[in-house]
Amino acid sequence: LQLQINEKGTDKYVLIPVATIGCGKTTVALTLASLYGWGHVQNDDVSSKSGKFRTFSNRISQAFSEHDVVIVDRNNHQFRERQQLFEAMDLMADANGYDMHYIGLDFLPNGPAQKEWEVTLSRVMNRGDNHQTIRNMDRPAVEAIMKGFRGRYQPITVAKEPDSNFELVIDVNCARGSKDNVTAVVSALNDAYDMDLETKPEELNAAFSAALEHKAKIPVG
């Protein structure tokens, strides 16, 4: 399952979710990373409060030194966050001679509608304490955090900056289920680029089951 890279070997593909909590970002990312050996950098794994984005972007650069495709796992639900990522990755690309392909994963193509709210709330409640930061909280506290993200959410708007940097936006509506969304990503990449990604149903099922069973790296202390 090799990506076909251009002759210069400088193409780098970054998958950027735009989502809120519980949309299935980590599940989709883990499944893709396991199937194709892609890089996966989780913002929630960065425990430092100060210099958090610098640590996150250093980890992204490290991932690109090892992988041609990297998934940047954070909500990126605001223009400001997307802008920050594009700027950091443009600098990284200039320094390393990469040709970047920015690909959006649109987990809320209908916005944070009622169905999406119910799906994500029920998933986050079922996830319980299996998360780096959302843990040891009662339901109202979790709902308040989730509502904060919903309230601040700014949909992908490719007609203007910063979202005009997206070369491709893939519909991965969270209400549809994460396994179907993995398949949607694979087909969209195969259609848009010179990739030849295969998915065998049994491999997909195994990778997806493992992703659902994943245990978050809980910070000590």
Rule CB under 6 A: which residues touch ligand IDP?
19, 21-27, 123, 126-127, 177-179, 212
Comparing CB distances to ligand IDP, the nearer of 165 and 173 is: 173
Comparing CB distances to ligand IDP, the nearer of 7 and 213 is: 213
Nearest C-alpha neighbor of 18 from the set 113, 154, 132? 154
> DSSP H helical segments within 154-194, as ranges?
178-192
Comparing CB distances to ligand IDP, the nearer of 22 and 162 is: 22
Smallest separation, CB 97 to ligand IDP (Å)? 32
Comparing CB distances to ligand IDP, the nearer of 2 and 115 is: 115
Comparing CB distances to ligand IDP, the nearer of 178 and 199 is: 178
State how far the Cα of 47 lies from the Cα of 95, in Å rounded to an integer: 27
State how far the Cα of 158 lies from the Cα of 13, in Å rounded to an integer: 18
Smallest separation, CB 76 to ligand IDP (Å)? 11
State how far the Cα of 64 lies from the Cα of 46, in Å rounded to an integer: 17
Nearest C-alpha neighbor of 67 from the set 96, 24, 87? 96
Token digits for 124? 């986050």
Smallest separation, CB 140 to ligand IDP (Å)? 19
Smallest separation, CB 9 to ligand IDP (Å)? 31
- 139-152 helix and 114-127 helix, angle to the nearest 10 degrees: 140
* Helix, strand or coil, per DSSP, at residue 99: strand
Smallest separation, CB 174 to ligand IDP (Å)? 7
